[in-house]
Amino acid sequence: MKISPKITLLAVGLGFALTACGGGSNSGSLSGIGKSIRDSDAQAPKTEEELRRDSGSKLGDLFTNGRVDDIGAVNKYLWHAALDVLNFLPIEAADPFSGIIAFGNGRAPGSSQVYRATVFITDPALDARSLKVSVTTSRGAASAQTQREIENAILSRARQLRISRAKL
């Protein structure tokens, strides 16, 4: 079986083209690969912050500015606690960057009253000033005592979550 000169010329030209696409001073040279490995071993050791940054980073870490207790611009413990405490209500909308969770109509366990709630987390701090809860019923706004009890339940649950994380 004889190979035509056109195919040979095409194969050689294709080989040169692929070699040129390697782009880098070490392409095609095995000694260059060994040199780059030795150079990377000779780098200065990484600082503790560089190691922390490089290990286990996630896409969500881009939005926390290195603060572990935040989701977007809000406290993650308040966020998760609000979801836990009001889990009997369906979630209509949630935005961790603005700190708003809007819940739809639902009944509390053991109650015939229909509730609707909106939670607004205003600050990354874990304190009462960071949390605002608005609860309505089918007859209008819920009593101030009901709203205060829900806020206290969310704050208590957030503290429990924070303590359980600290024990890890």
Q: Does 137 reside within a domain? A: yes
Residue 19 pLDDT level (bands cut at 50, 70, 90)? low
Residue 12 has pLDDT above 50, yes or no: yes
Q: Which of 34-43, 85-94, 113-122 has the lowest mean pLDDT?
A: 34-43
Rg (CA), the chain: 30
For 46, which DSSP code?
P
Residue 134 sits in a domain of what CATH number?
Answer: 3.30.530
Q: Given the structure tokens 């990484």, which residue do they identify?
A: 46
Is 20 in the same domain as 83? no
Q: Report helix, strand or coil for 73.
A: coil
**Domain count of the fold of the chain:** 2
Enter the pTM of the model.
Answer: 0.58
Structural contact between residues 147 and 134, judged by C-beta atoms closer than 8 angstroms? yes
Most confident segment among 1-10, 28-37, 155-164: 155-164
**Average pLDDT in the chain:** 74
Instruction: Say which residues have a Cβ less than 8 Å from residue 122's Cβ, sequence separation at least 6.
Output: 74, 99, 129, 130, 131, 132
77 shares a domain with 11: no
The verdict on residue 64 lying in a domain is no
Domain that includes residue 95, residue range: 70-166
